A and B are shown apart, each in its own frame.
Chain A
Amino acid sequence: MNPKNTTQPVSPEGQTGTLEQEQTKVARHWKVILYNDEDHTYDYVVDLLVAVCGMAKEQAFRCAVEVDMTGRTTVFYGNKEECTLRSGKINTWGADHRLLRSRGSMNSAVEPS
């Protein structure tokens, strides 16, 4: 057995690192993308991201501005299971009580990072 194969696996980019580093990288190779719509307020997005993704309010607000301006924003990085859980919560969080026209949740998706 070549010890190098167990402690320093080659990363997809061709670089070497410790096994622990590689495992961490692989485990966190997923992200949750939040998509914009016109049926939810900045307040809703801030409350949602604080509750579901554990963000500070200030960070959540920046994400709210980003999703409003660009159409999408990354709100969470993690392994596939964690990302799926958070995306599911976002997609079922419910309507924005501040807007009468809001009848459902925002949309998010899990993507490889």
Chain B
Amino acid sequence: MERLVLEILNQLQGGNPPLHSPSDLALLSSRQLLELIEATPPELLPILVRFLKESRGGVRLFEKLMGDHEEDNRELVDRFFSRYYSIVTETGAAEENPLLSYMDPAMFHDLAVIQSRELFFKRQSIAHINEFLAVHMDLPRTFEVGEQDQAWEYFFRELLKL
């Protein structure tokens, strides 16, 4: 896989300088690196970033990704972060109920995991919490705005009964 991706990257940047391993990416100038990133298809971008991370270029490499703070590179830098952001984060997931998406009943038996999600649970809107509890529990009443703590206590108490 690594060789295949390096071959594609070499083709994209014309093989000058040749990339024999991920660490060679750290030898590219900021401009060369950003132009290579610009030419890289979206599906390969996370792999390219992983290569950059593995090349252990550290702070210097990140400076290159930031275009060495030169105005001429700014557009390329902005496009890279914008593309990468849309590829590796959950854009558009805000409409879903995060509790239903991430607190699967399969984990209900593992109280340590559930307990580690307490703050996450309490940060949700009461509408999402009520919906989640209604799906998974025999909810006697809906909780009011601001009753996240009580809802959590109810949820955890019910889990102990399972």
Contacts and interface: CB of A to CB of B under 8 A. Distances in A.
Interface stretch (B12-20, B30-38, B53-61, B125-133): B53-61
Interface stretch (B3-11, B110-118, B150-158): B110-118
Given A61-B85, A97-B102, A43 B58 contact: no
B76 interface: no
Contacts of A57: 85
Contacts of B103: 97
Nearest to A96: B120
Nearest to A105: B119
Contact of A94 (B57, B65, B66, B117): B117
Contact of B81 (A65, A69, A71): A65
B62 interface: yes
Nearest to B120: A97
A44 to B, nearest CB: 10
A98 B104 CA distance: 11
A13 interface: no
Given A65-B81, A94-B123, A103-B112, 5 more contacts: A58-B82, A65-B65, A94-B117, A94-B120, A95-B116
15 contacts: A42-B88, A42-B89, A57-B85, A61-B84, A65-B49, A65-B62, A66-B62, A69-B58, A94-B116, A94-B120, A97-B102, A97-B117, A98-B102, A100-B113, A103-B112
Interface of A: 42-43, 46, 57-58, 61-62, 65-66, 68-71, 92-95, 97-98, 100, 102-104
